[in-house]
A and B are shown apart, each in its own frame.
Chain A
Amino acid sequence: MNRPGIGLAACMTVLAALWTTAGRAQDAAEKEIEKYRAMISDPMSNPGYLAVDRGEALWREKRGAKGVSLEGCDLGLGAGKLDGAFAKLPRYFKDADRVMDLEQRLLWCMQNLQELDTKDVVARRFSGPGRQSDMEDLVAFIANKSNGMKIDIPLSHPKEQEAAAVGEEMFYRRGGVNDFSCATCHAEDGKRIRLQGLPNFAKPGQAPRETMASWPTYRVSQGALRTMQHRLWDCYRQQRWPIPEYGSDGITALTVFLQKQAAGGEINVPSIKR
């Protein structure tokens, strides 16, 4: 796999410093980020590719009571078939009788195939200082195997249709002390909060396509690869809602709805963002 170039870390420190300065500097920072993004959008230097490498090793590692690797895990296209699997997730899995996103499915395979106690894996669902995340790494590796393919989730099974419909309801459900829903921030074109642009997910099209096709992403401001589970966790935080349960059916339903709006988006991940 491709390694980021030397000197990148220094460059990132400078940019991180730029981001932490007051609001007005953000405009200038945005321009710098554009240049920077162009510079490192090539896999040779995007640090997200380190996660891809680690994820590949984890995928092949024998773990759990069964002492087997995840290579026997069926992500929807057959056991061990990775190419294009991410482009069709979330989807219904007969063995689990549930609609699952990639992270739920990986946990299921760890529990059922490897008989791995996933408590620790879930505790490390989001990486932090001195704490790597198996899930972030695995998602980076697997999602990367759908590059160049178009988002195309199956919506024929009644449970897939149900998830899409519930996800749409959740998108519009207002609540919390600020009465916010996803739609408060993501249902009109060209809006922003402070200086941050807000993609409109209320209608299918370019905004949902470009967004969903660019996750997982390496977040420079957080110095970490992040998955959609983390993005929605962060948005519910801004929504002033309670902490959403990781890998829950509600988060997957929302993801199904977003993927439906994003159908046709060409995947290019891990991307790199602010």
Chain B
Amino acid sequence: MKRIIAPALLGIALSVPAVAGAAAQTAAKPVDPALVDKFLASTFGKAPAEWQARIQPDETLQACNKFRNDVPSAEAEKITAREMARVVYPADGKLLGDWKQGRKIANDGRGNQFSDPPTIASGGNCYACHQMEASELSYGTLGPSLTNYGKDRKFDPEEIKRTWARVYDSQSQVACSNMPRFGANKVLTEAQIRDIIAFLFDPESSINK
């Protein structure tokens, strides 16, 4: 993602005072957060309390919002440490479930939209952002290709563990990642994540063929 690198801008501003004025002019004027909240309330203020709570940014999202995801490295370290602490591994240590079930979940984009029945089990919708099986042509490009994911990583147990953390809470790996925090935000259950990890890492899985 191409973003302006804040420290670089700052360096120029400090060393060449004449440029600082120009830079300040082009930078977005800071907006009073209370004002933004007022507008948000006009648009979402009548939603049920449970829905209101969902759009309250936690500490991590507050930082991502403030820096438009381009967080300084000290902040990034705080985020990955905080989110890593939220990752829960299965008590029995079993990280691989049923890859066929995982494929279904990866294809399923339902759940958590205001048009969805609230009781519906949420899908992972991985295909919205990732290429996965080579045979599936309808895939999005917001994330990298995951074709042959397990095979390319030699089905290494360490990689499997790291990927569990990635799917459970993407920001444990990349601060302000655009990928949802599926486990931490309770979008997917432990059993569903197990199946998805199997889809990525089972040698028999169609992703590795």
Residues on the B chain within 8 Å of A249, using CB: 39, 42-43
Once the chains bind, are A173 and B65 in contact (CB under 8 Å)?
yes
Is A175 an interface residue, CB under 8 A from the partner? Answer: yes
A181 and B29 alpha carbons, distance in the complex (Å): 20
Q: Residues of B contacting A273 with CB < 8 Å?
A: none
- The answer to whether A40 has its CB under 8 Å from any CB of chain B is no
* B137 contacts A166, C-beta separation under 8 Å: no
* Chain B residues whose C-beta falls within 8 Å of the C-beta of A237 in the assembled complex: 113-115
How many chain-B residues does the 8 Å CB contact rule pick out? 47
Q: Is B194 an interface residue (CB 8 A)?
A: no
- Cβ–Cβ < 8 Å partners of A240 in chain B: 54, 112-113
B180 at the interface (CB under 8 A from A): yes
Is A66 at the interface (CB under 8 A from chain B)?
no
Once the chains bind, are A166 and B142 in contact (CB under 8 Å)? no
Judge whether A7 is part of the interface by a CB distance below 8 angstroms: no
Complex: how many Å from CA A233 to CA B100? 34
* B114–A243 touching, CB < 8 Å: yes
B128 at the interface (CB under 8 A from A): yes
Task: Pick from A168, A188, A194, A195: contact of B28, CB below 8 A.
Answer: A168
Q: Which of B35-50 contact A (CB under 8 A)?
A: 35-36, 39-40, 42-48
Bound complex: CA A170 to CA B69 (Å) = 14
Which one of B36, B55, B181 lies within 8 Å of A175 (CB-CB)?
Answer: B55
A207 CB, nearest partner CB in chain B, Å: 15
25 A-B Cβ contacts within 8 A? A165-B28, A165-B29, A166-B36, A173-B65, A175-B55, A175-B56, A177-B112, A179-B178, A179-B185, A192-B141, A192-B142, A193-B142, A194-B138, A195-B137, A237-B113, A237-B115, A241-B55, A242-B44, A242-B51, A242-B52, A242-B55, A245-B42, A245-B43, A245-B46, A250-B39
Extra A-B contacts (14), CB below 8 Å, given A188-B1, A242-B44, A248-B42? A166-B39, A170-B39, A173-B65, A177-B54, A177-B186, A178-B185, A185-B142, A191-B140, A193-B128, A194-B127, A237-B113, A240-B113, A250-B40, A251-B43
* Chain A residues packing against B (C-beta within 8 Å): 22-24, 26-27, 162, 165-166, 168-170, 172-181, 183-185, 187-188, 190-195, 198, 237-238, 240-245, 248-251, 253
